[in-house]
Amino acid sequence: MRTNDRIFDFDLDLAADQPNQTFAARLARLNAWLGSLRIALRNRLAANSLADLDERLLNDLGLTRGEVQDVLRRHGYADDPSQHLTRLARRRAERSLRGLRAD
């Protein structure tokens, strides 16, 4: 799962920000929105594949099965759960480096 991709706001009201926007500018914004949706769906599929891993492999990543399932349940199908999973794994790694017990 690649976590360096960022998504844009899913804002389809293309003409509301700039009423004099050209057709090419509107197409560019629509293309950017579709690209961010594609990235979000790809990351969602990658996060879904995490649920198929066993506990040992998830622990190596710094995650638990409950955390993965919770993040997937809380976010919609077009949302990108990778940022939340990355945040959880980093938090667990920081706690481990400080010698604190991981939850």
What are the tens digits of pLDDT across the range 56-99?
Answer: 999 888 899 999 999 988 877 777 888 889 999 999 888 888 88
Query: What 3-state class would DSSP assign to 56?
Result: helix
Residue 102, in any domain of the structure: no
Q: Is residue 13 part of a domain?
A: no
Task: Output the pTM of the full model.
Answer: 0.61
The pLDDT value recorded for residue 57 is 93
Contacts 24+ apart (CB under 8 A), 45-51: 46/1, 46/2, 46/82, 47/1, 47/71, 47/72, 47/81, 47/82, 47/85, 48/72, 50/1, 50/85
**Is pLDDT at 27 greater than 90 in this prediction?**
yes
Residue 63 lies inside a defined structural domain of this protein: yes
What integer pLDDT is reported at residue 103 of this predicted model? 56
Count up the domains in the chain and report the number. 1
Is residue 14 a part of any domain in this protein? no
- 73 in a structural domain: yes
Q: What is the pLDDT of residue 3?
A: 55
Q: Where are the alpha helices (DSSP H) in 1-103?
A: 14-17, 23-50, 55-61, 65-74, 82-97
Weakest-pLDDT range from 5-9, 36-40, 61-65, 99-103: 5-9
Q: Does residue 4 form part of some domain? A: no
| Structural domain contains residue 69 | yes
Domain span holding position 51 = 20-97
